[in-house]
Amino acid sequence: MSLSLRWQAPTPLEYFSSLVAEDAGLSLLEAAVSIAQDDYPALDVQSVLAEVDALAQRLRKRLPADASARHKLQTLLHFFYQELGFAGNLNNYYDRDNSLVHRVLETRRGIPITLAVIFLELATHLGLRAQGVAFPGHFLVKLSMGNGELILDPFTGDSLSRSRLDEFLQSFRSNSGFQGDLDLPVDLFLQTAKPREVLARILRNLKEIHRAASDDARLLAVQQRLVVLLPEDAKERRDRGLMLESLAHWSAAADDLAFYLEQTPGAPDAEMLRSRLSQLRQRGAPPLH
């Protein structure tokens, strides 16, 4: 007697987990697009990738085979910001859709990091050496142009001088009220951001948006992705544990808080969390539902 097994599509979290399992071969665009499946479960990620590929093909047809890096960049900037009309969403900066790549493609409005994800993909298709920069408070794009590096603001497409970068950093220092490492020279903040770091920044933006809106369901979904993306990050485990506790998922919350305390036994909040962990274990572990 043979049994037929029904294939089941992976859940959005399982799909994301498969995309970010290894740094080698991690597709920033595909993983970034897939984040939206929590809000748009019917989203076809591959169709979004195909849409970006089609834009890249349109762009490549305009360039001669021997086009210089500067010619490619000028053509890309005009295509992206003038012809396609991508721009920063100044009127609704904290809308969650600004952090969802497929919505940025549809509306042509976004925040620096999602605009950068699309821009970087198009630049790579043209053979440009472009990378993201996790600058404090404002994600940037860095291009190697043969005779040096060029820093672009993906919000506007403008090239940024060192003095303008200093202004960005000073503004962030003032607005955040934080000094510390931000007193270091601006050049130290221009290191290349790895795909995993870019994804973490997108997710943390969404985390703060959902936290501010007290949207527990969306917040937990983002926290699940952050733990998958950064499995050794104790603070993300702690934050997820506290959310699970608030939703009465005692056992899962206890697991996360125990992980945090094992990794950071001397943390300022350790004593308080040990007390909460003890209470969670006393409550038992009812099944999740």
Give the tens place of pLDDT for each residue, 135-144.
Answer: 998 999 999 9
Mean pLDDT, residues 42-70: 96
pLDDT of res. 288? 38
When pLDDT is cut at 50, 70 and 90, the band that residue 250 belongs to is: very high
Same domain flag for 192 and 258: no
pLDDT, mean over the chain: 92
> Tokens representing 210?
């959902």
Tell me which residue of 182, 32, 185, 196 sits closest to 110, measured CA to CA: 32
**pLDDT score for 181:** 54
pLDDT band at residue 7 using 50, 70 and 90 as cut-offs: low
Please determine, for residue 87, whether its predicted confidence score (pLDDT) is greater than 90. yes
Q: Whole domain around residue 105: which residue ranges?
A: 12-213
Asked if residue 165 and residue 265 are part of one domain, the reply reads no
Identify whether residues 237 and 209 lie together within a single domain: no
Measured between alpha carbons, how far is 171 from 37 in angstroms, rounded to an integer? Answer: 34
Q: What is the pLDDT of residue 1?
A: 44
User: Is residue 2 domain-resident?
Assistant: no
The residue from 186, 213, 240 where one domain ends is: 213
Same domain? For 171 and 136 the reply is yes
- The pLDDT of 179-208, averaged and rounded, is 86
User: Looking at the 3D structure of the chain, how many domains does it have?
Assistant: 2
Average pLDDT in the 226-243 region?
A: 98
278 band by pLDDT with thresholds 50, 70 and 90 = very high
Instruction: Judge if 92 and 195 occupy the same domain.
Output: yes
Asked if pLDDT for residue 289 goes beyond 50, the answer is: no
Cβ-proximal residues to 200 (8 Å cutoff; 6+ apart), any chain? 226, 229, 230
Q: How far apart are CA 263 and CA 208, in angstroms?
A: 24
User: Predicted confidence band at 117 (pLDDT cuts at 50, 70, 90)?
Assistant: very high
In terms of pLDDT, which residue wins out, 286 or 284?
284
Does residue 53 sit in the same domain as residue 94?
Answer: yes
The whole-number average pLDDT for the span 77-102 is 96
Specify if 54 maps to a domain: yes
CA 261 from chain centre, in angstroms, equals 26
Q: What percent of the chain is modeled with pLDDT above 90?
A: 80
Same domain assignment for residues 140 and 196: yes
Please state the rounded mean pLDDT for residues 71-92: 96
- The answer to whether residue 221 sits within a structural domain is no
pLDDT for 178 equals 55
